[in-house]
Amino acid sequence: LDRLNKQWHITVILISHDVGVVTARVKRLACLNDTQIFVFDQPFDFLSSPDNLAKVYGQGMQTLIHCHQVNCKGRSFNA
Protein backbone atom coordinates (compact mmCIF):
# COMPACT_ATOMS: atom_id res chain seq x y z
CA LEU A 1 0.00 0.00 0.00
CA ASP A 2 2.82 2.39 0.83
CA ARG A 3 4.49 1.69 -2.51
CA LEU A 4 1.29 2.31 -4.47
CA ASN A 5 0.69 5.53 -2.59
CA LYS A 6 4.19 6.85 -3.23
CA GLN A 7 4.72 5.53 -6.76
CA TRP A 8 1.33 6.43 -8.21
CA HIS A 9 0.45 9.34 -5.90
CA ILE A 10 -2.93 7.81 -5.15
CA THR A 11 -5.01 7.89 -2.01
CA VAL A 12 -5.35 4.54 -0.27
CA ILE A 13 -8.30 3.94 2.03
CA LEU A 14 -7.58 1.35 4.71
CA ILE A 15 -10.53 -0.06 6.62
CA SER A 16 -9.79 -2.09 9.74
CA HIS A 17 -10.96 -2.75 13.28
CA ASP A 18 -7.33 -2.88 14.45
CA VAL A 19 -6.51 0.65 15.58
CA GLY A 20 -2.83 -0.28 16.00
CA VAL A 21 -2.45 -1.34 12.37
CA VAL A 22 -4.29 1.70 11.09
CA THR A 23 -2.48 4.29 13.19
CA ALA A 24 0.91 2.83 12.23
CA ARG A 25 0.25 3.20 8.50
CA VAL A 26 -1.83 6.30 7.87
CA LYS A 27 -1.25 10.04 7.68
CA ARG A 28 -4.85 10.97 8.49
CA LEU A 29 -7.49 9.05 10.38
CA ALA A 30 -11.28 8.91 10.31
CA CYS A 31 -13.33 6.74 12.65
CA LEU A 32 -16.84 5.63 11.78
CA ASN A 33 -19.48 4.58 14.30
CA ASP A 34 -23.00 4.00 13.01
CA THR A 35 -23.72 7.14 10.99
CA GLN A 36 -21.18 9.45 12.63
CA ILE A 37 -17.69 10.15 11.28
CA PHE A 38 -14.98 11.45 13.58
CA VAL A 39 -11.90 12.83 11.85
CA PHE A 40 -8.49 13.24 13.43
CA ASP A 41 -5.88 14.98 11.30
CA GLN A 42 -3.10 12.69 12.48
CA PRO A 43 -3.13 9.31 14.24
CA PHE A 44 -1.24 10.87 17.16
CA ASP A 45 -4.20 13.21 17.75
CA PHE A 46 -6.45 10.18 18.19
CA LEU A 47 -4.06 8.20 20.38
CA SER A 48 -2.88 11.11 22.53
CA SER A 49 -6.18 11.49 24.37
CA PRO A 50 -7.80 8.59 26.25
CA ASP A 51 -11.13 10.36 25.81
CA ASN A 52 -11.07 9.90 22.04
CA LEU A 53 -12.01 6.20 22.17
CA ALA A 54 -14.93 7.07 24.45
CA LYS A 55 -15.95 9.97 22.20
CA VAL A 56 -16.03 7.77 19.11
CA TYR A 57 -17.20 4.41 20.46
CA GLY A 58 -18.78 5.18 23.85
CA GLN A 59 -17.77 4.77 27.46
CA GLY A 60 -16.01 1.64 28.63
CA MET A 61 -13.69 1.35 25.62
CA GLN A 62 -10.01 0.83 26.22
CA THR A 63 -6.89 0.15 24.21
CA LEU A 64 -5.64 -3.43 24.36
CA ILE A 65 -1.99 -3.93 23.47
CA HIS A 66 -1.20 -7.34 22.07
CA CYS A 67 2.18 -8.46 20.80
CA HIS A 68 2.56 -11.14 18.21
CA GLN A 69 5.14 -12.44 15.78
CA VAL A 70 4.88 -11.22 12.20
CA ASN A 71 6.49 -12.88 9.19
CA CYS A 72 6.99 -10.62 6.21
CA LYS A 73 9.08 -11.37 3.12
CA GLY A 74 11.05 -14.05 4.93
CA ARG A 75 11.81 -11.80 7.88
CA SER A 76 10.33 -12.31 11.31
CA PHE A 77 9.77 -9.66 13.96
CA ASN A 78 7.56 -8.96 16.96
CA ALA A 79 4.73 -6.49 16.53
Amino acid 74: pLDDT: 61
Report pTM. 0.58
pLDDT at residue 61, rounded to an integer: 65
The tens-digit pLDDT sequence of the chain (79 residues) is 888 888 999 988 888 888 778 888 888 888 888 888 887 778 887 777 778 878 887 776 666 666 666 555 565 555 5
Query: 57 near 33, Cβ under 8 Å?
Result: yes
pLDDT recorded at residue 8: 93
